[in-house]
Amino acid sequence: MSIPLFGAGTFRLQGQAVIDSVRNALEVGYRAIDTAQIYANEAEIGQAIASAGVPREQLFITTKIWVANYAKDKLIPSLKESLAKLRIDYLDLTLIHWPAPGNGVSVEEFMTALAEAKQQGLTRQIGISNFNIENVAQAIAVLGKDLIATNQIELSPYLQNRKLVAFLKEQGIHVTSYMTLAYGKVLQDPVIVALARRHDATPAQVALAWALQLGYSVIPSSTRRENLASNLLAQQLRLGEDDMAQIAALERNGREVSPAGLAPAWD
């Protein structure tokens, strides 16, 4: 089974905003939707999906297990609750949201519980999010690398995570990039803006095309229908070797998300 290269993210979108965003995304052609238990928007996403009328088999829905639900007696019940909110019978992909070192639940315990959720048919694929190399190695030691479909990580032209990405590729674990636009910061970057002008594209399309050409999945979000539609066109943009090299030179370890107590020691 494969992971779609393009999806709609829903981080920080709640209430009517997330309902409208998901509805618009599905109407303009998205079929992958990414959420998480901590986003507190699964019920609204379920409402939007139900009203859209898109056949379930055409959709790819991802959620992430929150830290409070990592224990073996909590993970599966929490996932069943997510399914009820989303109004679906199974997830296409379920991720451990953060490694949360020192929270009292071992990698072995939560990865084993996640694998059990897959065995029960609650989710088609399983994976991890925000794991560093050491965390990934620990997860592989528990389940083997073949069961880990992806590591969803912050990754943008300003934070290219080359060491971690190289390790994931060695292990055959797919990379999903979130925050690919760095909260919009890369959209004002002179290099990105110049490339956008040269290709008659938007800066967002350039940044997303860069990630796609490196083989990553992307999950940008927007509350604006026109931006959702425009972002999708990044799939048709081809950047040349020189373009890719210019973007590669933008690396500056520009991490936007690193919550204390949840994040690992980054590579």
Residue 88 covered by a domain: yes
Measured CA to CA, the distance from residue 118 to residue 64 in angstroms comes to 14
Domains of the chain: total: 1
Could you tell me if residue 206 is inside a domain?
no
Tokens describing residue 230: 């425009």
**Is 198 part of any domain?**
no
| Contact (CB, 8 A) for 263 and 154 | no
CATH of the domain at 103: 3.20.20.100
Pick the catalytic residue from 39, 70, 158, 178: 39
The per-residue pLDDT for 102 is 87
The answer to whether residue 73 is domain-embedded is yes
Range of the domain at 36: 8-182+216-222
Assess if residue 199 is contained within a domain.
Answer: no
The answer to whether the Cα torsion of 216, 96, 267, 163 is positive or negative is: negative
Going residue by residue through the chain, which has 267 residues, state the pLDDT in tens, using 9 for 90 and above: 699 999 999 999 999 999 999 999 999 999 999 999 999 999 999 999 999 999 999 999 999 999 999 999 999 999 999 999 999 999 999 999 999 998 999 999 999 999 999 999 999 999 999 999 999 999 999 999 999 999 999 999 999 999 999 999 999 999 999 999 999 999 999 999 999 999 999 999 999 999 999 999 999 999 999 999 999 999 999 999 999 999 999 999 999 999 999 999 999
Report the b/e string of 155-192 with b at 16+ CB within 10 A.
Answer: bbbbbbbeebbebbeebebbbbbbbbbbeeebbebebb
- Domain annotation covers residue 37: yes
- The answer to whether residue 39 is catalytic is yes
97 is an annotated ligand-binding site residue: yes
Q: Is residue 181 within 8 Å of 206, Cβ to Cβ?
A: no
Helix (H) or strand (E) holding 219: none
Residue with tokens 């981080």: 11
Q: Name the burial class of residue 245, with classes exposed (0-12), middle (13-18) and buried (19+) by CB atoms within 10 angstroms of its CB.
A: exposed
Q: Is the pTM of this model over 0.95?
A: yes
The confidence score (pLDDT) of residue 49 equals 98
Residue 78 lies in a domain: yes
